[in-house]
């Protein structure tokens, strides 16, 4: 069996293992509502699902039939969801179908990663395989994809485009240029802000083409530019706006300084809590690749750097409290692990004993980070809870670090008179594996033990939606702050009080509250004037806000739900809607 065949079999084994893990993740996402099994997605994904359902039902790509507001930022992914809704699948299982599609996209990235790794670190099959394993196991990519966001689709498209760019560098092929144009167009159709990585890939393709460069630039420029122009014209024709409503909600009226402050805080928190091991490995890749600066390495650096800069510029995401990389940065998982592979290849050329010293110093740094830096971000309702979290997390991590140092010592002892390069590669791979595992312990632990905050939230909001559908007659208008699952499963006309699907709120000034993208604008006086029949939840409402709704004729039920008393609603059934759990 040749080395290539062995490598392919190894990638196949990793892919099979990943498929089993993803299936387990999906299987544990189900929960019972009224004795029936339901599946739901992340809150923002359920917003896209409502648009998709309305499109499949013939109402158009709208939140409420007859109201054209673009409250989503992932057109192509929403169309994929619409395809799911054209199938004869009950609403309680549509999310399951979307998760399986996302799992397929994750698995398709693995052979692409392997092909790219062979070009980044030729002749290093173990390091190539390590890059594939890293991408397969990277929890944020798995989480955002399998929880229904467009991250898996966009990551698959961009990594495929990167491979096509690399193929152009090896010899111009007309079919590769055409394929690259199609893939980049699909990326732009997935998210408008994909224009940033697309532009980098177009430039890289032109510079890396071995044949007639101007032809590559012309084809890719005309096609991607045409897609952008066509998308904007279609958006304006359908929604009467040049940008998605979410742009006005998250950017308009919010100073650049405020967004940058939020973005920098996001990066600091991410590095301190989760990403320091990976940042060290990526940094090693950039450092060791500096001697060659191959076009593919430079492109990976450009993609990752530009996406991080964009995430900082927009102020990060609304869900940075999850303490792992957000939806923007996670789309660059493949370029990041390719840089890590380059770093491992460089480390494998360092004498084993020197590498052991460097590894020990790095692990000590991580131990200090766990004990000192993470204390600032430890979460809990009390000082005792935060202290307990910190002790458990630090103790378990330090034990892992100690075990790694011991294993590294054994490896070095067994290496004996063997070549330092082979021993160094084994030590580098072992150390990288542990550093990567350190980034996965906390989120995986939360998911396995069923206390993951997003899962609990999505389950609760799904139950709210199902209960609303049973308690309120069709046509009942519902105002809500968290608009995903409750609106989708109730199928009632809905008013988004945080403005994602409401252009009036989206264009209003931001409240002077701590910056959180998409959660700084609301107008309860405006909501009261719309006279919704039911109000589910009030985000950061003052006592005056609540009193105003009471004065407007709303009664507050024991579960916290507010309802009008003049439209014949069954208040007893509404009081049974489980808002609190």
Torsion of CA 384, 389, 393, 398, to 10 degrees: 0
Closest CA to 319 of 150, 486, 464, 519: 519
Torsion of CA 9, 12, 16, 18, to 10 degrees: 120
Calculate the alpha carbon distances from 148 to 77, 80, 108, 533 in Å.
9, 11, 17, 30
Tokens, residue 506:
């989206």
Angle between helices 43-56 and 75-85 (to 10 degrees): 60
Q: Which residue has the tokens 């990943």?
A: 18
Burial of 377: CB neighbours in 10 Å, binned 0-12, 13-18, 19+: middle
Provide the residue-wise pLDDT of the chain in tens; the chain has 581 residues. 455 667 788 888 889 989 998 999 999 899 999 889 999 999 999 999 999 999 999 999 999 999 999 999 999 999 999 999 999 999 999 999 999 999 999 999 999 999 999 998 888 888 888 889 889 988 899 999 999 999 999 999 999 999 999 888 777 666 888 899 999 999 999 999 999 999 999 988 877 665 556 677 778 888 889 999 999 999 999 999 999 999 999 888 888 888 888 888 888 777 766 666 667 767 766 776 666 668 888 899 899 999 999 998 988 888 877 778 889 999 999 999 898 888 777 776 666 566 566 666 666 665 655 555 555 544 544 444 545 544 545 444 444 444 444 444 444 444 443 444 466 666 566 666 666 666 666 667 667 666 667 788 888 899 999 999 988 899 999 999 888 899 999 999 999 999 999 999 999 999 888 888 888 999 999 999 999 999 988 888 888 888 888 888 899 999 889 999 888 888 888 888 887 65
CA–CA separation, 129 and 134 (whole Å): 9
Closest CA to 155 of 340, 337, 285, 343: 337
């Amino acid at each position: 069996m040749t080395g290539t065949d062995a490598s392919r079999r190894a990638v196949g084994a990793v892919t099979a293992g990943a498929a089993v893990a993803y299936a387990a993740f999906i299987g544990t996402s189900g929960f019972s509502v009224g004795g029936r099994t339901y599946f739901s997605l992340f809150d923002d994904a359920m917003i896209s699902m409502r648009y998709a359902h309305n499109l499949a039902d013939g109402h158009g790509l709208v939140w409420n039939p007859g109201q054209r507001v673009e409250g989503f930022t992932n057109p192509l992914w929403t169309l994929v969801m619409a395809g799911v809704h054209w199938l004869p699948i009950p609403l309680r299982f549509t999310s399951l179908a979307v998760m399986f599609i996302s799992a397929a996209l994750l698995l398709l990235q693995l052979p692409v990663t392997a092909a790219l790794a062979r070009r980044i670190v030729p002749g290093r099959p173990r390091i190539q395989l390590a890059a594939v394993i890293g991408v397969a196991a990277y929890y944020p990519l798995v989480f955002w994809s399998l929880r229904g966001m467009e991250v898996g689709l966009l990551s698959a498209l961009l990594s495929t485009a990167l491979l096509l760019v690399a193929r152009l560098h090896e010899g111009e092929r007309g079919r590769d240029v055409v394929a690259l144009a199609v893939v980049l167009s699909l990326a732009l159709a997935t998210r408008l802000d994909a224009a940033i990585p697309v532009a980098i890939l177009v430039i890289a393709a032109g510079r890396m083409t071995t044949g007639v460069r101007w032809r590559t630039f012309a084809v890719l420029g005309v096609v991607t530019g045409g897609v952008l122009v066509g998308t904007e014209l279609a958006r304006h024709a359908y929604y009467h706006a040049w940008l998605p409503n979410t742009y006005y909600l998250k950017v308009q009226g919010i100073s650049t300084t405020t967004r940058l402050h939020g973005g920098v805080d996001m990066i600091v928190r991410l590095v301190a809590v989760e990403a320091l091991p990976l940042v060290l490995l990526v940094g090693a890749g950039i450092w060791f690749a500096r001697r060659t600066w191959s076009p593919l390495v430079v492109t990976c650096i450009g993609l990752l750097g530009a996406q991080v800069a964009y995430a900082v510029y927009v102020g990060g995401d609304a869900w940075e409290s999850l303490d792992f990389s957000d939806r923007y940065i996670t789309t660059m998982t493949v370029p990041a692990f390719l840089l890590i592979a380059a770093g491992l290849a460089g480390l494998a050329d360092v004498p084993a004993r020197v590498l052991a010293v460097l590894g020990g110093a790095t692990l000590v740094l991580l131990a200090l980070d766990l004990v000192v830096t993470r204390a600032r971000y430890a979460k809990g309702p009390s000082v005792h809870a935060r202290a307990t979290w910190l002790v458990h997390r630090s103790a378990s991590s330090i034990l892992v670090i100690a075990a790694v140092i011991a294993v590294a010592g054994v490896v070095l002892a067994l290496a004996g008179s063997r070549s330092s390069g082979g021993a160094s590669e084994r030590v580098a791979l072992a150390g990288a594996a542990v550093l990567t595992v350190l980034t996965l312990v906390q989120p995986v632990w939360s998911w396995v033990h069923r206390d993951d905050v997003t899962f609990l939230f999505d389950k609760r909001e799904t139950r709210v939606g199902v209960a609303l559908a049973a308690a309120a007659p069709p046509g009942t208008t519902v105002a809500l702050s968290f608009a995903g699952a409750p609106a989708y499963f109730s199928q009632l006309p809905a008013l988004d009080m945080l403005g994602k699907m409401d252009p009036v709120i989206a264009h209003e000034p931001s409240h002077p509250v701590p910056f959180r993208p998409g959660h700084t604008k609301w107008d309860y006086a405006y909501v009261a004037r719309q006279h919704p029949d039911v109000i589910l939840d009030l985000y950061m409402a003052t006592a005056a806000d609540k009193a105003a709704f009471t004065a407007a004729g709303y009664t507050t039920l024991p579960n916290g739900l507010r309802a009008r008393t003049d439209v014949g609603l069954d208040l007893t059934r509404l009081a049974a809607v489980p808002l609190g759990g």
